[in-house]
Amino acid sequence: MNGFEEVIAPLMVFMIFIAPLWLILHYRSKKQVSQGLSEHEHRQLIELSNKAEKMAERVQTLESILDAEAPQWRSKV
C-alpha cells in the first residue's frame, strides 16, 4: 500500500495545480494564434514588405547597369 500512496501524492499535485495551469496557458496561446497578427506585428510586416520592394528595385537597377557596362557578367555567375 505504501507504493500506491507514493504515486497518489504527486498525481494529486499535478491534477490540482499543474494541469489546470497548463490548460489555461495552452488555450490562451491558441486564442492569440487564432486572432492573427497584432497591430505591432502588422506594422512590422508592412515595413519589411516595403524594404523588400526597395531592395528588389535596387537589384533591378544594378542588373541594368551591369548589363550595360559588362554584358558578360551573367555568364560568370
- DSSP-derived secondary structure for 11-37: HHHIIIIIHHHHHHHHHHHHHHHHH--
Dihedral Cα 51, 57, 60, 62, nearest 10 deg? -80
Cell of 73: 557578367
The number of C-alpha atoms within 13 Å of 30 and in the hemisphere containing its C-beta is 6
How much is the pLDDT for 1? 57
Which regions in the chain score pLDDT beneath 50?
none
